[in-house]
Amino acid sequence: MVTKEECAYHENVFISFSSKETAEAIHVCELLEQNHISCFISTRDLVPGREYAEQLVQNIDEVKAVVLLLSNNSNNSPHVLREIEYAVSHKVPILVHALEEVSLSKSMEYYLMTHQWITNTADRDQKLVEGIRQIISKNNALPSQD
């Protein structure tokens, strides 16, 4: 993985995932960081001995976007649901990276009904990078002088 210091951009992405999809989460983190988009991923970035929930909330507050790795496991994870709920309530854009076909829980449907989705297609890695770049670009745009 590329270190955060090596990333040309300092717009961070929070990766939300079920621990059962750790390998896919690491792949997404590496993909984004190879494209100069730094990430927060719990398997690497949580500081031992500090309050877990506090670190998650602090990092969601500081990022430009959340990438949700959507699977049946994450759909049913109360931890992932809390991360998504927090991101939505703090107006952090969410890009849904669907790993498989999922029938959303009612709670997850409520939070995700207006967010961009990337489905499991051959070019999904490219679409993920492009989608995150669009979100970051939009978040960095200066307000109009109208």
Q: What is the rounded average pLDDT for all residues in the chain?
A: 87
Which range, 76-85, 95-104, 116-125, has the best average confidence (pLDDT)?
76-85
Q: What number of other Cβ atoms are within 10 A of residue 27's Cβ?
A: 13
**DSSP label of 29:** H
Give the pLDDT confidence score for residue 144 in this predicted structure: 43
49: left (phi over 0), alpha (psi -120 to 50) or beta: left
Residue 46 has pLDDT above 80, yes or no: yes
Distance CA 19, CA 21 (A): 5
pLDDT of residue 11: 55
pLDDT tens digits, residue range 24-38? 999 999 999 999 999
Average pLDDT over residues 19-25: 97
